[in-house]
Amino acid sequence: MAKSTSEEKVHSQKEWAMVIHGGAGTILESEMTPEKFKQFHGALDSALTIGQKILASNGSALDAIEATIKFLEDSPYFNAGRGAVFTHEGKNELDASVMDGSNKEAGAVGGVTNIKHPISAAIKVMTNSPHVMMVGRGAEQFSKQQGLEQADPSWFKTDRRWESLQKILQKEKSTGAVYEEVDSKFGTVGAVALDKNGNLAAGTSTGGMTNKKFNRIGDSPIIGAGTYADNQLCGVSCTGHGEFFIRYAVAHDVAARMDYLNETVEEASDFIINTKLKEVDGSGGLIALDKNGNYAMPFNTAGMYRGYISPDERFVKMYKE
Ligand code: ASP
């Protein structure tokens, strides 16, 4: 363990900070064209600017992650909102969750098909209902009652994701086997922010996994699996093969290791992704911020779209660098 580096990191207190992801399992570096690079890089960079404007002007961590994730949901490049992957039946079923580290309140929606911004619906569940999670038609009805913007299901459809489903269906037909993903390009989006008042908030939004069946729901809308936040410890948003992230309670495990083992956010996150999950072939990654604004963004896939911003640092990265 690099103790001295960890201690230095713990002591660097940021006034505010935000970390984002656009999914683990990127387009392979060898297949990345300058045009695609510009699209992904540009979208992540714009997302950072959205959070920056809110956090630098004293806005809340919750507002910052909502605005940032809404922007990424509208972008066709990521597997959330517009650009979500397709189910086996050719539908877009969306999941999202949020947690407020200041009071440990949380909200989530699962399997919704016509809410334009699932992250906003998750926030409404948290703030305007006595519940933590709503799914399917009920969640859709609630979002309408709350006055949230609705969208025709066709809004979420992109050719790229439709073709991915066709490729998998073809493969299933020719081999007789069942596939959830063939290329492990997950593409979920997430954000964790620390505001000037020391509040942490985390949110995650996804279309799930291509070819999912029977209203399958992954880790993204599950508090403690895909999303977690606690002002005293950290905020976390995950991306990857959801079944593993649920079974290993990944987002909460980062906080637990920091709490019980006194690990830094980097040590805890790295161990879970690169040792615990790697040993069982659970592919994916996570982003996390501790209460001082220090970040961790480990992944065990070829890449993970990600970015970080604070008053003195800003970057967007895709591969191991
Ligand atoms: N974790 C998501 C799920 O399993 C997929 C992703 O990260 O893209 O639904």
Domain locations in the chain? 16-313
Structure tokens at 138: 């009920």
With a 6 Å cutoff on the Cβ, whether 23 touches ligand 1 is yes
On the question of pLDDT at 210 being above 80, the answer is yes
Kindly indicate the confidence band of residue 6, based on its pLDDT and cuts at 50, 70 and 90. very low
Q: What is the pLDDT of residues 77-136, one digit of tens each?
A: 999 999 999 999 999 999 999 999 999 999 999 999 999 999 999 999 999 999 999 999
The pTM of the full predicted model, rounded to 2 decimals, is: 0.95
Predicted pLDDT at 28? 83
201-224 mean pLDDT: 97
Class of the CATH domain delimited by 16-313? alpha beta
Type of residue at 23: G
Longest CA pairwise span in the chain (Å): 56
Q: What is the pLDDT of residue 38?
A: 95
Top pLDDT among 10 and 288 is at 288
Q: Is the confidence at residue 5, as pLDDT, over 50?
A: no
What is the set of active-site residues?
A: 188
Confidence of residue 157 (pLDDT cuts 50, 70, 90): very high
Mean pLDDT, all residues of the chain = 94
Does residue 192 contact residue 65 with C-beta atoms inside 8 Å?
Answer: yes
Whether 213 shows a pLDDT value over 80: the answer reads yes
CA 253 to ligand 1 centroid distance, Å? 17
219 Cβ closer than 6 Å to some ligand 1 atom: yes
Ligand 1 contact, 204 CB (< 6 A): no
With 50 as the cut, is the pLDDT of residue 140 above it? yes
